[in-house]
């Protein structure tokens, strides 16, 4: 360890980062090294922790990361308080620790800066994916990064790279749906948006791909339950979105809580080192999920105590423990001193953390400006971006010409999600509406409708609320708009018998049906004879077969965010076209699961009628209607033969043959006709969203490379096996051949 000097080389921004890191690392004690590998929090988690408590941890244990805002139990949710706390704690780290290493603040801003009351909330993951618009998703992430960084945080625990395989799972809403390809494209776009042209950009944040390697198909849909998948499915369903994030240079990766093949991810060297770093080539930091370390002894029972859990995670390849703070640090110091954790391995983790802090420019400027934060967070331009994204996400599931509505119509607005801001924001958002500026569905309809707008809620999420008043109002209305679905964050309808849930099942569901109170409201409105338009505000597919059979129109709004009510209203009244397309299939009931589009072939040894239509989803992946009509011309490819690393392009003209401007998505699917093993009946391999005026035609080009149609092999490489592949757009198909690699 070097002696200190007034102007040590690690403070010299003219030196290469590598030299600054090595100079600083050479000066650090084991305790100071360990401090950079643990994080702490301020707020309510397992008990309350104050700013003063965090100060003590920084001074006494050189703790290097803090979460004081941007999560469910955070200390602060208003921007002025956030900036004051961040700057104060940075000052403590810089002036009251020996080496003055700045803090890294982390947040969960998964769909905008939604845990800050003034922040801009975009649609949640499913809604983002429903836009099928990579540029728009990248823009949403860039807005989020700007608001997060100006608030004082530099690391965002996003994007969620999990592929939605189990709709009962309570975190389905965070995902980009059931297609590995779509999830990967959206995850890559988010990384580009968060990290911009480089982490030295003052408007960028370090992105975190989570939850590695497989989290989203837990047994029974119960969060953190084991995920039992074959090595083939692990590679080809769960890894591709992480590969896309890594290809975009994602700064950090977070392991999943659960076990795969009996191995908890946080303790698996196979996953965190051999696979993630060795085969996939990731070179950033690995940061634990919140209680991921302690779960090894508290839940998985693969460690005897906390100290053993710390040892296992460190030797597996974990760099940073998010929230264990002093307890984790004390154990790690003793493990290093005992030789149970090698100091050279500790140094590698510290190098990665310091490299991230240097790249973020924290050694040059760790503070944030309160005035700038006020100007940026929730800025009008950002709200406009949120509105644009919400508009593009609106997915019209069915319509018998009830929509778009007449602007002069008298409208009843009803339902638990018509005027409840926090339900509209959905999970990973402020849990109450104090200080928020959310345009609800009721607000939006009132702003665009010239007729009389009457509001009668009729039901909460779980209980009736004067349904009779809603029924009487419906009788006097030209149309009723009923907004039903799920509530905020926990994605539960509540611990009630009619919802089929119990208190200890949060945040998961055993049924996908609406609670009795909501079904009763919708039925009562339908029985008035007034046309009823259903709006689903939800974070997962719901079983709405009765609504689909009895209501003329259904619009899926997902969790649409800050400006979502405006987007819903504009779509209902025809000011914008519902151009969203489903990123996940809607089953008829939970008993019909799984209904995903990319299933494996079903052999029929007795006869072709074994597959009943009732097995099919109510609304399939990629579905969505428009207010106009499109015709797809003949599909061609630029080359019917390609090398294992080559590219071809699908081309076809798209014409808007209707009488209004609208959007559609050209979706290209691939089927492997002669694989070396059984492969899905189809996979998405390319897409392009196009918006056209009436009568306009555009030739759409969708590039298809070998990676788009290939498989991930045992080494982590994406390869297209030589042979024939069928590419499909709608009913059209073209066969291409991937040729063997030439010698």
- CA dihedral of residues 144, 145, 150, 153 (deg, nearest 10): 110
* pLDDT bucket at 500, cuts 50 / 70 / 90: very low
Look up the pTM and report it: 0.95
Percent residues over pLDDT 90 in the chain: 84
Higher pLDDT, residue 186 or 602: 186
pLDDT at 492 over 50: no
- CB 731: neighbour CB atoms within 10 A? 7
Q: Which residues pair with 230 in a beta bridge?
A: none
Angstrom distance (rounded) from CA 498 to CA 514: 9
* pLDDT bucket at 505, cuts 50 / 70 / 90: very low
Instruction: Give the pLDDT of residue 607.
Output: 59
Angstrom distance (rounded) from CA 516 to CA 208: 39
Please, where are the H alpha helices in 1-151? 17-27, 30-35, 51-61, 79-96, 125-130, 134-151
pLDDT tens digits for range 127-161: 999 999 999 999 999 999 999 999 999 999 999 99
Mean pLDDT of 331-336: 98
- CB 395: neighbour CB atoms within 10 A? 26
**3-class DSSP string for 606-673:** CCHHHCCHHHCCCECCCCCECCCCEEECCCEECCCEECCCCEEEEEEEEEECCCCCEEEEEEEEEEEC
H or E segment to which residue 247 belongs: helix 239-247
* pLDDT bucket at 604, cuts 50 / 70 / 90: low
Mean pLDDT of 451-479: 96
* pLDDT bucket at 217, cuts 50 / 70 / 90: very high
Instruction: Give the pLDDT of residue 279.
Output: 97
- Return the exposure string of 439-463: e unless at least 16 CB atoms fall within 10 Å of the residue's CB, then b: bbbbbbbeebbebebbbbbbbbbbe
- Greatest alpha-carbon span in the chain: 84
* pLDDT bucket at 743, cuts 50 / 70 / 90: low
Instruction: Give the pLDDT of residue 352.
Output: 99
Please, where are the H alpha helices in 97-204? 125-130, 134-151, 180-195
* Closest to 487 measured CA to CA, from 564, 424, 432, 553: 424
Q: Both tokens of residue 712?
A: 């991930």
Instruction: Give the pLDDT of residue 606.
Output: 58
pLDDT tens digits for range 392-441: 999 999 999 999 999 999 999 999 999 999 999 998 998 777 778 999 99
* pLDDT bucket at 108, cuts 50 / 70 / 90: very high
Radius of gyration of the CA atoms of the chain, in A? 26
pLDDT at 84 over 90: yes
Domains of the chain by start residue, with CATH? 9-374 (3.20.20.300), 394-592 (3.40.50.1700), 628-738 (2.60.40.10)
pLDDT at 591 over 90: no
Question: Which span out of 265-274, 490-499, 511-520 was modeled with the highest average pLDDT?
Answer: 265-274
pLDDT tens digits for range 168-212: 998 999 999 999 999 999 999 999 999 999 999 999 999 999 999
Instruction: Give the pLDDT of residue 46.
Output: 78
pLDDT at 608 over 60: no
Instruction: Give the pLDDT of residue 328.
Output: 97
Percent residues over pLDDT 70 in the chain: 95
Angstrom distance (rounded) from CA 158 to CA 113: 11
Instruction: Give the pLDDT of residue 4.
Output: 58
Instruction: Give the pLDDT of residue 324.
Output: 84
Instruction: Give the pLDDT of residue 539.
Output: 94
Q: Both tokens of residue 450?
A: 């010239």
* pLDDT bucket at 669, cuts 50 / 70 / 90: very high
Angstrom distance (rounded) from CA 325 to CA 675: 50
Instruction: Give the pLDDT of residue 5.
Output: 64
Q: Taking the CA of residue 187 as centre, how many other CA atoms within 13 Å lie in the half-sphere pointing to its CB?
A: 35
Q: Which residues pair with 402 in a beta bridge?
A: none
* Closest to 542 measured CA to CA, from 580, 500, 599: 500
Angstrom distance (rounded) from CA 141 to CA 161: 14
Angstrom distance (rounded) from CA 233 to CA 237: 5
Mean pLDDT of 688-716: 95
pLDDT tens digits for range 220-252: 888 899 999 999 999 999 999 999 999 999 999
Q: What is the mean pLDDT of the chain?
A: 94
Flag the least confident range among 271-285, 289-303, 481-495: 481-495
Instruction: Give the pLDDT of residue 498.
Output: 34
pLDDT tens digits for range 703-732: 999 889 999 988 988 888 899 999 999 999
* The residue to which tokens 């099928």 are assigned: 132
* pLDDT bucket at 3, cuts 50 / 70 / 90: very low
Measure CA 414 to chain center: 29
What are the distances in angstroms from CA 28 to CA 3, 10, 24, 315?
10, 12, 7, 21
Angstrom distance (rounded) from CA 584 to CA 668: 16
Please, where are the H alpha helices in 338-458? 343-359, 370-376, 380-393, 421-425, 441-448
pLDDT at 541 over 90: yes
Instruction: Give the pLDDT of residue 73.
Output: 84
Flag the least confident range among 128-142, 143-157, 282-296, 665-679: 665-679
Instruction: Give the pLDDT of residue 738.
Output: 93
Instruction: Give the pLDDT of residue 503.
Output: 36
Instruction: Give the pLDDT of residue 221.
Output: 87
Higher pLDDT, residue 357 or 676: 357
pLDDT tens digits for range 15-57: 999 999 999 999 999 999 999 999 999 998 778 999 999 999 9
pLDDT at 380 over 90: yes
Q: CA 438, 109, 494, 517 torsion: positive or negative?
A: positive
What are the distances in angstroms from CA 573 to CA 210, 413, 533, 578?
38, 14, 12, 11
Mean pLDDT of 315-326: 95
pLDDT at 391 over 50: yes
pLDDT at 507 over 80: no
């Amino acid at each position: 360890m070097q002696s200190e000097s007034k102007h040590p080389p690690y403070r010299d921004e003219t030196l290469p980062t590598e030299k600054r890191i090595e100079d600083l690392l050479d000066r650090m004690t084991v305790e100071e090294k360990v401090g950079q590998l643990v994080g702490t929090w301020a707020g309510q988690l397992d008990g309350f922790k104050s700013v003063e408590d965090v100060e003590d941890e920084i001074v006494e244990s050189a703790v290097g990361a803090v979460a004081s805002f941007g999560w469910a139990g955070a200390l602060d949710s208003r921007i002025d308080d956030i900036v004051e706390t961040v700057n104060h704690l940075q000052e403590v780290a810089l002036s009251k620790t020996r080496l003055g290493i700045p803090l890294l603040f982390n947040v969960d801003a998964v769909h905008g800066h939604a845990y800050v009351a003034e922040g801009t909330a975009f649609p949640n993951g499913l809604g983002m994916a429903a836009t099928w618009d990579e540029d728009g998703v990248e823009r949403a992430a860039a807005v989020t990064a700007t608001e997060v960084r100006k608030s004082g945080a530099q690391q965002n625990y996003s994007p969620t790279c999990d592929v939605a395989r189990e709709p009962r799972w309570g975190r389905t809403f965070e995902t980009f749906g059931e297609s590995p390809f779509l999830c990967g494209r959206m995850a890559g776009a988010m990384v580009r948006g968060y990290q911009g042209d480089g982490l030295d950009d003052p408007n960028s944040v370090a992105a975190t791909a989570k939850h590695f390697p497989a989290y989203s198909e837990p047994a029974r849909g119960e969060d953190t339950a084991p995920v039992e998948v074959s090595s083939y499915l692990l590679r080809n369903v769960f890894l591709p979105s992480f590969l896309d994030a890594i290809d975009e240079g994602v700064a950090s990766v977070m392991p999943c809580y659960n076990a795969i093949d009996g191995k908890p991810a946080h303790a698996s060297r196979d996953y965190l080192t051999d696979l993630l770093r060795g085969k996939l080539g990731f070179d950033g930091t690995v940061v634990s999920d919140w209680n991921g370390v302690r779960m090894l002894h508290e839940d998985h029972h693969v460690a005897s105590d906390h100290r053993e859990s710390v040892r296992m995670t460190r030797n597996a390849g974990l760099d940073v423990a998010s929230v264990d703070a002093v307890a984790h640090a004390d154990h790690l110091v003793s493990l290093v001193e005992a030789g149970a954790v090698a100091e050279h391995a500790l140094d590698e983790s510290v190098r990665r953390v310091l490299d991230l802090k240097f790249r973020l420019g924290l050694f040059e400027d760790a503070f944030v400006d309160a005035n700038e934060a006020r100007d940026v967070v929730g800025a009008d331009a950002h709200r406009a971006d949120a509105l644009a994204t919400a508009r593009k996400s609106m997915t019209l599931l069915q319509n018998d010409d009830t929509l778009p509505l007449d602007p002069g119509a008298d409208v009843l607005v009803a339902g638990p999600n018509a005027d409840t801001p926090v339900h509209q924001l959905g999970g990973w958002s402020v849990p109450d509406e104090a200080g928020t500026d959310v345009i609800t569905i009721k607000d939006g309809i009132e702003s665009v409708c010239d007729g009389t707008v009457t509001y009668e809620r009729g039901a909460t999420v779980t209980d009736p609320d004067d349904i009779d008043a809603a029924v009487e109002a419906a009788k006097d209305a030209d149309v009723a708009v009923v907004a039903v679905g799920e509530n905020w964050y926990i994605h539960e309808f509540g611990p009630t018998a009619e919802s089929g849930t119990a208190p200890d099942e949060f945040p998961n569901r055993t049924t996908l049906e609406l609670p009795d109170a909501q079904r009763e409201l919708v039925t009562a409105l339908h029985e008035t004879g007034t046309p009823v338009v259903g709006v689903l505000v939800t974070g997962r597919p719901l079983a709405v077969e009765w609504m689909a059979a009895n209501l003329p129109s259904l619009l899926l709004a997902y969790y649409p965010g800050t400006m979502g009510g405006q987007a819903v209203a504009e779509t209902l009244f025809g000011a914008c076209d519902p151009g969203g397309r489903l990123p996940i299939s809607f089953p008829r009931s939970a008993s019909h699961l799984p209904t995903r589009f990319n299933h494996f072939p079903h052999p029929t040894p007795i006869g072709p009628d074994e597959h009943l239509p009732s097995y099919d989803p109510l609304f399939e992946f990629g579905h969505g209607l428009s207010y106009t009509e499109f015709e797809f011309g003949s599909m061609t490819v630029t080359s019917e033969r390609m090398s294992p690393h080559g590219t071809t392009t699908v081309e076809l003209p798209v014409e808007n043959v209707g009488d209004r401007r609208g959007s559609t998505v050209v979706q290209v699917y691939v089927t492997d006709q002669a694989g070396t093993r059984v492969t899905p009946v189809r996979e998405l391999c390319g897409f392009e969203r196009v918006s056209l005026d009436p009568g306009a035609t555009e030739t759409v080009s969708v590039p298809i490379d070998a990676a788009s149609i290939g498989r991930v092999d045992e080494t982590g490489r994406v390869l297209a096996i030589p042979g024939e592949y069928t590419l499909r757009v709608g009913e059209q198909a073209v066969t291409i051949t991937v040729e063997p690699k030439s010698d």
